Amino acid sequence: MRSLVVVGCLVGLAACTEEGAAGKETSEIGKDTAAGGGEQENWRASGTGAAYFTDGESDSSLFSLSMTRALPPRDGYAYYGFVSTAGGELIPLGEITVNGEDVEFTAEVGVNAISEGLSHFEAWHTDGGGNEPSGYALWEGDVDTTVYDVIQRLLIGNGDTPGGEGSLRALEAQVEYLAAESDAASNGGLTIGELLLIGEKIGNALEDPAVDSNNDGNDDVFPDTLHIEGDDTKGDDGYVELIFADFQEMALVLDPLDPIRGYIDDAYDGVQFTEYTVKTFAAPAARSTGNTDTVSVAESFLSSVAEDMTNCLTGYDANEDGEIDPQVEVGIEWSIDRVSYMAQMAVSTVD
């Protein structure tokens, strides 16, 4: 169910720089050519890798840096990392250690990186502490601005959703709400009239065009809602269309071989599974609730809608092999996780 993020690359031999009050100044240490580490007086920056954000503790983000062919710092020195908004105040991440020539570094940022707009990373080679940059600039990188704007619209804010929430987060909230309404109605001892109305509201919240399935003269729908699946024949957008449009915009600015495309494919899978489930199962079941005349049948329809909505959130083990297949069985929560991985930085040695 696939139809359609910037890996850091640390290359070459770079001059080391010192960041002071007057700006960066080239240091004689930048001309050293020895391997570095141990008791060597010489040192040079090297390595290849990637830096990115993922979900961390509570509302904090986790920063990760993976590298190979990274030489250790000089004796008495250490590597320290920082993140910030573009041109903003630096947040210290702590010491970045090298194991042989490999780096596997993670640190809790302390804030939500996406909502705070963190898009810049830099590291320093220093004999001072790691609370602020000092010594010699080592690596730096930034998230692509178009990619970052799309991530923000998906996860933080989008003017086209009813509450202005990011479209993917808003889709998650809508599905959670419809799951709760369906479940409560199927177990709440409601009258047939009440059940018919709930079924119509849910069906119209799921799919456009709206219909009067209970024949009361109104196309009822929950307030402050957006169709999960819009009517493509009329050009109407729903949550799915908004999300797919953002994925496509992001893909247009990426190199054909950029690995962020893999995360777009992954995130697309969860939304596409939701679209398929809504069209094939949930919307028809909800609208069938609207025109039945038996309480037990109406409750059964709504119970199946609640199950479908839960599957849209968490995924569904359709082949019953005990695992959620990352390509065809994942849901919205998977998509949100994959989008956070798109906040990657093209990291390189500082010139």
3-class secondary structure, 91: strand
Question: Which residues are within 8 A (CB) of 125 and not within 5 positions of it... i.e. 6 or more apart?
Answer: 16, 43, 45, 73, 74, 77, 78, 79, 135, 136, 137, 138
Question: Tokens at residue 74, please?
Answer: 């000089």
Cα–Cα distance for residue pair 73/188, rounded to 1 Å: 65
Cα–Cα distance for residue pair 77/195, rounded to 1 Å: 69
Q: Where are the domains of the chain?
A: 17-142, 150-341
Beta carbons of 290 and 200 less than 8 angstroms apart = yes
Regions of the chain with pLDDT less than 50: 1-40
The mean predicted confidence, pLDDT, of the chain is 84
Cα–Cα distance for residue pair 349/351, rounded to 1 Å: 6
Please report the pLDDT score of residue 351 as a whole number: 75
Beta carbons of 329 and 316 less than 8 angstroms apart = yes
Long-range pairs, 224-231, Cβ under 8 A, ≥24: 224/162, 224/163, 225/162, 225/174, 226/161, 226/162, 226/170, 226/174, 228/171, 228/174, 228/175, 228/274, 228/275, 228/278, 229/275, 229/278, 229/279, 229/283
Cβ neighbours around 217 below 10 Å, total: 7
Q: Domain 17-142: which topology? A: Immunoglobulin-like (2.60.40)
Q: What is the pLDDT of residues 15-66, one digit of tens each?
A: 333 333 333 333 334 444 334 444 445 677 887 788 988 877 777 889 999 8
Q: Give the chain's radius of gyration (CA, Å).
A: 26
Please report the pLDDT score of residue 41 as a whole number: 55
Please report the pLDDT score of residue 37 as a whole number: 47
Strands 61-68 and 103-108: antiparallel
Please report the pLDDT score of residue 282 as a whole number: 97
Cα–Cα distance for residue pair 214/224, rounded to 1 Å: 21
3-class secondary structure, 67: strand
Beta carbons of 113 and 341 less than 8 angstroms apart = no
Please report the pLDDT score of residue 183 as a whole number: 97
Model pTM?
0.78
Cα–Cα distance for residue pair 5/99, rounded to 1 Å: 26
Please report the pLDDT score of residue 170 as a whole number: 96
Query: Residue 229 carries which DSSP code?
Result: B
Residue type, 80: Y
Please report the pLDDT score of residue 42 as a whole number: 65
